[in-house]
Structure 1
Amino acid sequence: MSDRERDYAEKRDFIRMRVDTNVSLIHAGQEIEGVCLDLSSSGMQVQAPRQFSVGDLLSVRIESEHAALKGLEADTEVVWVNAQDGQQKLGLKILKKS
């Protein structure tokens, strides 16, 4: 299949990996538990139980289940929001990895 035949939604600058893992979101001193749905080198999609807005800055922590692998800690910015049934799906852009 040529690039022209591929659907535009499939074209990304960075490959996304489906992860479905717990994530801690820290905002204004509060820690909120969510689920990271997918992850790339530049961002992630997260499902959260509370409301955030585009432009909110969140610290994100994903613990590693493997002793040999380091988890992820990053500063992120909310770049899109999709509300569904009292939950939100968030697009987070990674600004800085710790």
Structure 2
Amino acid sequence: MSEHERDYAEKRDFIRMRVDANVSLIHAGQEIDGVCVDLSSSGMQVQAPRQFTVGDLLTVRIESEHAALAGLEADTQVVWARNEGDGQHLGLKILKMR
């Protein structure tokens, strides 16, 4: 199966939820603000204000707006990156939920 066919198959295998939530991206000890565009059980799409490289490991933190609900924190890996000006849209694979 080609990379393109696999990517298409993954889109059909996982339901994506539109989120548009502020996130913190932690990379090499630096915290960067971003926006989570959508989220599935295996990954997420994030808009970041700076450039990352495929293979980079990021910790993603999404704070909950409700005191009764815990936020989300996950270890992720960049699997694709699309440049947009100084920033990027990133496809992140969830490696581990914390």
Bigger Rg over Cα: 1
User: Unaligned regions of 5+ residues in structure 2, if any?
Assistant: 1-7
The percentage of aligned residue pairs carrying the same residue is 81
Give every structure 1 segment of 4 or more consecutive aligned residues whose post-TM-superposition deviation is greater than 4 Å. Answer: 8-11
Q: Which has the higher helix share?
A: 2
Residue correspondences, number: 91
Aligned: 1:49 with 2:49: yes
d(CA) in 1 for partners of 2:87, 2:63: 22
Give the root-mean-square deviation of aligned CA atoms.
Answer: 1.5
Q: Deviations over 1:48-89 (max 9, x none)?
A: 001100000000100000112111000000000000122100
TM-score (norm 1): 0.88
TM-score (norm 2): 0.88
d(CA) in 2 for partners of 1:11, 1:97: 21
Q: How does 1:25-40 map to 2 (within 5 A)?
A: 25-40=25-40
Cα 1:11–1:57 shift into 2, 3 Å: closer
Cα 1:88–1:11 shift into 2, 3 Å: closer
User: Unaligned regions of 5+ residues in structure 1, if any?
Assistant: 1-7
